Chains A and B, each alone.
Chain A
Amino acid sequence: ETGVTQSPTHLIKTRGQQVTLRCSSQSGHNTVSWYQQALGQGPQFIFQYYREEENGRGNFPPRFSGLQFPNYSSELNVNALELDDSALYLCASSPGAGQVYTGELFFGEGSRLTVL
């Protein structure tokens, strides 16, 4: 069984730039969520994708956007980067609607973004 994989693992950007982070979900999972974990904090929910549609969003501005592809992989895009966007971005997959609900999320190792 293939787990959740994310790329890149580390990247450095400057203020105002744009970034794209990628995630492959665990096999058999059709729902992908993204979380932001700032240094010393717990993960904060950004949004969730199911069947290529966003179906839940946390308190993040529109410059945070995403995509889900037919193979259930996903991208997180952040435009107009700010210093406070520096964080570990975690992707998680789970069985979605129509599958057994367990509440559990399966996390990747994350992409660490530094904004200078």
Chain B
Amino acid sequence: AQSVTQLGSHVSVSEGALVLLRCNYSSSVPPYLFWYVQYPNQGLQLLLKYTTGATLVKGINGFEAEFKKSETSFHLTKPSAHMSDAAEYFCAVSDKGGGATNKLIFGTGTLLAVQP
């Protein structure tokens, strides 16, 4: 069964600093991987996704993530944090078309704080 582990429930960085949010997954089949962002009192917005092909994927708002099969990781990075990046970030793995169900399994989330 698929699972996702996000290391660090809270991460704090200074404005302009590198953002690194960690995600490790477990999957019995080649995974589809996602990062979603959730601002307070809002739903989830897709940042980026990996399905097949290039292992470095770029998303919105300057975020990118690299799929590393050997490490079963899909860490999210951004070179320079902005105050507007403060939010909760969720990593998710998809049951890639298993049966007819398109289900995402989410990690417990990482709350990113950006200090001025």
Contact = CB atoms under 8 A, between A and B. Distances in A.
Interface of A: 4, 31, 33, 40-45, 48, 50, 55-56, 58, 90, 92, 94, 96-97, 101-110, 112
How big is chain B's contact interface, by range?
20 to 34
Given A42-B106, A42-B107, A43-B90, A90 B100 contact: no
A55 B101 contact: yes
Contacts of B34: 103-104
Contacts of A45: 103-105
18 contacts: A4-B43, A33-B102, A42-B108, A43-B44, A45-B105, A55-B99, A56-B99, A56-B101, A90-B43, A102-B32, A103-B34, A103-B49, A103-B51, A103-B94, A105-B44, A105-B104, A107-B44, A112-B41
B44 A90 contact: yes
B106 A109 contact: no
B67 to A, nearest CB: 13
B93 to A, nearest CB: 9
Contacts, number: 74
A103 B106 contact: no
B42 interface: yes
B45 interface: yes
Contacts of A43: 44, 90, 104, 106
Contacts of A33: 102-103
Contact of A94 (B41, B90, B102, B105): B102
Contacts of B101: 48, 55-56
A105 B100 CA distance: 14
Nearest to A56: B101
Contacts of B107: 42
A84 to B, nearest CB: 17
